[in-house]
Structure formats: C-alpha cells, structure tokens
Amino acid sequence: MINAIYSSKKRDGMEPNVYTYDILLKGLCKNNRVDGACKFLVEMSDKGCNPDVISYTTVISSMCKIGRGYKNKGKVFRLLGLMADEGIDANVITYSKVINSLSDMGIVELALAFWAKMLVAGCRPNVHTFTSLMKGYFMGGRVYEALNIWNQMIQEEIEANIVGALIDGFAKAGDLVGASETWNKVMVNDCIPNVVVHTGMLDVLCRNSMFNQAQRLLEKMTTDDCPPNTVTFNAFIKGLCRSGRVEWALKMFNKMGQYGCSPNVMTYNEILDGLLKANRIKEALELVREMEDNSVKLNSVTYNTILCGFCLAGLFEETSKLLGKNAG
C-alpha cells in the first residue's frame, strides 16, 4: 500500500518532500519494514531531499525496538554517525530511545555515555530518559546508582511520576530503607503517590514481613482517595501466602469486593499455592471450581501449582488425571 501511494505520487509528477518521506518512513517502520525505511533514507539524500531529525529518529526508534536493539546496534550507531556528519542534532527522543535500548541490553555504561553526550550537546533529558537509565541500573542490581538518577531528577525539577518504578526496584531488592527514603522524599516534595507508588511500597513492606504496616497502608489508600486495585491485593496476598499466613490471605481475598476489586488468575494462583502448601487440598479444589464458575481461565501456572501440591500430598492418581486433562 505504501509503495503504491508513493509510486502514484511520483507518476503524477509530484516529487515527495521531507514531510512525505517522514510519513512513509513512519508507515514502513510501523510495519517492521526497517530495511525499506533505510532505503528511503538513501533515496531522500540521492534526490536532494535531506532527511531531518524526525526521519532519522523514526528509523532509529524502530531499530531499537526490534529484538530490543540487539540485532541493530551497529546500524543504529551508523545512523547516528550519519546524522552527525550531516550536522543534524539528535533530539531528546533520539537519545532516549537509544538509552532505553542500551539499558534493555544491559549495556548501562554505554547508555551512561550517551547520557553524558546528550548533556554536553545541551539536550535536556526528560522523564523517559531518566526512567530508561534507572531501569538499566535496576536490571544490573545497581539500586543506589538508580537512586542517584532519582536525585538528579529532583534537582532538574522534573515531574516525579516515575517514583513507582524506583520503589518497585527497591521492593525487588528487598531494600526497605531505600524504599522508605524515596517515599519520604515524595512526601517532602508535595508529590501525591498514585496507586503504583502505594503498591510498590506495600510490596516492599511484605517482602520485609511487615504485614500489619502493609494492611494499614492498604486501608489508608481509600481514605487518601487512592483506592487499591487488583495488583495491590495481589502483592499483599502473595506476601502473606509465601510467609505461611494463608488465613490472613483468605480474609484479604474475600475483602477485595469491598474495595471494588475482582481477583484475577494471579490472585487465585497465589491463594492456591498457599492452600496446597498448607495441605488444605479440599479448599484448594473448591477454589479451582470457583475459578471455573467465575470464568477465570486456568493457566499453566495454575496447573503447575496444583500438580506440585498434589505430588507433595502423595495424590498421584489425581495428578495423573490432571495431567490428562491439561494435555487434552
């Protein structure tokens, strides 16, 4: 379709300009036809229609997405080199896409080099740039370097709407101190924590077995006009079940409706795991029937959880039946 429109326009004597090419490049990239987009970049130059920052950024962004940039890293750098040769300055979107791709690949030092290059070029990072670099640090387990990026965000007076990602990173590291310090900074800076931030903080409390504090935070969310969602309950129920507090988890499970939340397959899987580990087989089976009655589709995690529970309980005949059902 794109080629047909392009050919028709040329046939009618209308030579495409940079805006035409940028639209075509966007269409090709959206359809994962990056090679075709690269050919258009060459044709633009050959026709005396020099690509602009939008042209290059469109193609670079698409390259970064494909296979998280692994396959196209060299091509991306070559295009960035061409931009520089033609005197075209990369913008915040160009830098952010490359930094995000490098962070996804775990090449944080190179991402940091691009960050430095961006600052030297006088291009001010935005929230997406900060988020991308922080993500790279978290993936590498470098939590406090991510916190340094957060501090820079505050100095730059950038809207701190990525605090949820920061607290989530601390939660995964089980770092209560880091999460608490971040939470306090949010409050001091008069930011209003959203449901993502609350859920991250609740998660880190659960990972540190501070379940009473977690429940108080969940209850406070409603009074703060930030009601918990299913993800919030899942984090709490998961923490309770994995610490053997199944009865408490069941109470929270039954309270979800009061908060306008419905359990999803992840909620059921955590409760099932808790019940089976406590050898409460009958209740687990009743919960499976409840899932089916509520049209909650059992997934591979559900089946694996039940199989593991049955095997541990020595219910080998039931395990065989379930395997047959799963295979069917």
Domain extent for 105: 92-158
Supply the pLDDT for residue 157.
47
Provide the number of structural domains found in the chain.
4
Measured distance CA(323)–CA(320) in Å, rounded: 5
The burial class, CB within 10 Å (0-12 / 13-18 / 19+), for 7 is: exposed
- Look at residue 118 and tell me if it is in a domain: yes
Between 88-102, 173-187, 213-227, the lowest mean confidence (pLDDT) is in 173-187
Q: Could you give the angle at which helices 300-312 and 265-277 cross, rounded to 10 degrees?
A: 10
The domain spanning residue 135 has which CATH number? 1.25.40.10
- Look at residue 115 and tell me if it is in a domain: yes
Residue pair 127/159 in contact (Cβ under 8 Å)? The answer is: yes
Claim to verify: residue 63 and residue 13 sit in the same structural domain:
yes
By C-alpha distance, which of 313, 307, 323, 305 is closest to 268? 305
Claim to verify: residue 83 and residue 9 sit in the same structural domain:
yes
Claim to verify: residue 84 and residue 124 sit in the same structural domain:
no
Q: What are phi and psi of 88, to 5 degrees?
A: -95, 120
Supply the pLDDT for residue 262.
94
Last residue in a domain, options 35, 54, 88: 88
Last residue in a domain, options 139, 158, 177: 158
User: pLDDT tens digit string along 5-49?
Assistant: 445 545 545 566 777 777 878 888 888 788 888 887 787 777 777
Over residues 262-275, the mean pLDDT reads: 95
Claim to verify: residue 231 and residue 297 sit in the same structural domain:
no
Residues ≥6 apart with Cβ < 8 Å to 79: 41, 56, 59, 60, 63
Measured distance CA(17)–CA(32) in Å, rounded: 23
- Look at residue 257 and tell me if it is in a domain: no
Claim to verify: residue 324 and residue 269 sit in the same structural domain:
yes
Residue ranges of alpha helices (H) inside the chain are: 2-11, 18-30, 34-46, 53-65, 73-85, 92-104, 108-120, 127-139, 143-155, 163-172, 176-188, 195-207, 211-223, 230-242, 246-255, 265-277, 281-293, 300-312, 316-327
- Look at residue 179 and tell me if it is in a domain: yes
Claim to verify: residue 242 and residue 323 sit in the same structural domain:
no
- Look at residue 312 and tell me if it is in a domain: yes
Claim to verify: residue 130 and residue 201 sit in the same structural domain:
no
SS3 126: coil
Claim to verify: residue 234 and residue 167 sit in the same structural domain:
yes
- Look at residue 143 and tell me if it is in a domain: yes
Claim to verify: residue 114 and residue 60 sit in the same structural domain:
no
Neighbours of 281 (CB within 10 A): 17
- Look at residue 212 and tell me if it is in a domain: yes
The more confident residue out of 214 and 73 is 214
Name the amino acid, one letter, at 65. Answer: K
User: pLDDT tens digit string along 122-158?
Assistant: 887 777 777 777 777 777 777 667 667 666 665 554 4
Supply the pLDDT for residue 70.
54
Claim to verify: residue 164 and residue 246 sit in the same structural domain:
yes
Q: What is the dihedral of CA 204, 210, 212, 216, to 10 degrees?
A: -30
User: pLDDT tens digit string along 205-262?
Assistant: 998 899 999 999 999 998 888 899 999 999 999 999 999 999 999 999 999 999 999 9
Claim to verify: residue 1 and residue 69 sit in the same structural domain:
yes
The burial class, CB within 10 Å (0-12 / 13-18 / 19+), for 107 is: middle
Model pTM score: 0.57
- Look at residue 5 and tell me if it is in a domain: yes
Residues ≥6 apart with Cβ < 8 Å to 15: 47
Last residue in a domain, options 37, 56, 88: 88
Residues ≥6 apart with Cβ < 8 Å to 18: 44, 49, 50, 51, 52, 55
Claim to verify: residue 116 and residue 67 sit in the same structural domain:
no
